[in-house]
A and B are shown apart, each in its own frame.
Chain A
Amino acid sequence: MSLKIDNLHVSIGEKPIVRGLTLEIQPGEVHAIMGVNGSGKSTLAKAIAGHPDYTITSGTVTMDGEDILGWESDERSRKGLFLAFQYPNEIPGVSNANFIRAAVQARLGEGEELDAVEYYERLYSKMDELGIPREFTARSVNEGFSGGEKKRNEILQMMMVTPKYGVMDETDSGLDIDALKVVAAGVNAQRGPNLGLLLITHYQRLLNYIEPDFVHVMVDGHIVQSGGKELALQLEDKGYDQFREPSPALVS
């Protein structure tokens, strides 16, 4: 049982972005990936989630032993994978409550109808947990939301669809200190033997609130160093230069 990424190579167009990345996340574990801008973190996240523009040139991704690369993104999601977007999209005219409801409904078997009362009870309690005001049920998905509100809304969705594996792409960016604590508390409440998490972040601060079991450093499309949470502190201290491969100019 795990989300297993093995020697994954991802290209956008002709350009290789993720280059031989290997990572295994067991249920109950929290992994953090830190890496310089443009190192391919979001590309990795979207490729796992099945973005059609991202070509897997080699490698495998399996979820609990099943190869997920042949599945469309919706199937991956229904089978238990969740991606909290770095830049969530807006869906004009579709209320947040209806959207999340459609996502929850999509997980039910054919002919099964979501109980509306139960759904709203659960939605409201999760919103309360995340400090999201009730008016957000009626507002269009992410439309006019502030950066932090969008991020909170991502976590709300994650809580509502209860995935087996969650990838959170810079959920902390854009959150104020108080919001960060609230969101972290929400995520921590979800933590447990049934959820494996991959946090992508630039800031050690997040990891004070959601303590990772493993920290990975990503440079140029692959992981150059893995360790415990102390690795994040070391990064905060010394930066990424220590992990960068020497540039060809210097070698010659």
Chain B
Amino acid sequence: MPHDTAAHDTAARDTAARDTALPGAVAPGTAAGPAPVPAAADDGEQSLARLEAGLDALESAAVSDRRPWWRIVLSRLLPPAVALAAIVLVWDVLVWAHVRSGEIMLPGPGDVWNSLVAEWGPSRIGAAVWDSVYRAAIGFTASVLIGTVLGLLIARIAPLRAAVQPLLSGLQNLPSVAWVPIGIIWFGVSPATIYTVVLLGAVPSIAVGLIDGLDRVPPIYLRVGRNLGARGLDSVRFVLIPAALPGYVSGMKQGWAFAWRSLMAAELIAISPQLGPGVGQVMKFAQENLDLPLALGSIIIILIIGIGINQLFFAPLERRLLRTRGLSRS
């Protein structure tokens, strides 16, 4: 091969110095054996390296903002806490101003707190919260499994997609509580009814999220994967799934919101002693006893659990995914 001698010798020296196992099939420099290295070629190599180091330093100057963890936590928790305090304050002032006009009854924050504390305890709200969270966890897990399989099938099989995708989007528009009457007719007031409603609420979001994620995988990644030698399952595992993950996770996040919302609605409507307690039932109980503080307290509990799971689990996961891919600010 017609390399000039200076570079040829440099190649030989470098090959010997670094590692003999070079990736290419043919190593032209090695056959010649070591020879005196002309100073000019060496200078060329080194000045190239120095120039490159300078460029790298200039171009990647952006220093990532490394704050201590407690300041990050504080910056995330403080603003919502302040907003919450402000709401409670306004609420308290409103109650205080209206308390004698008596047109509508609005219990103050203190009343709600006292009511929750009084009704807490293993037999009442504590048990109800546990029951609801347990149902939500089961319902959501089942939704993820079903939604994932459904999403994969729809994304991969074109005729199925043409047939089912519009229905799936339509199902997202239908409040899943609408299924409660049918569920009760089929299954009676039973866990099956509740889980049906939760599934019908969460599965479409999860499936649609996954399909969206898969659709939005840039085709170039699949081509790169194929050129790297990823075929069949390897391609799914190493390219398709990681590339589709952000859409999938945001589908799951929305799926959780729907699951929790549907569960509360179902619990509020489908009530029976065999079902055991649940936050929805507590609310119904409050309604029947005209217990306003308890009803308001239940709403607050529903909010706290719904927001809490999102903030503790889905939001950080999503943030992480987007940040590592350079898709979010900061």
Q: Is the pairing of A and B real?
A: no
- Using a CB–CB distance below 8 Å, which chain B residues touch chain A? none
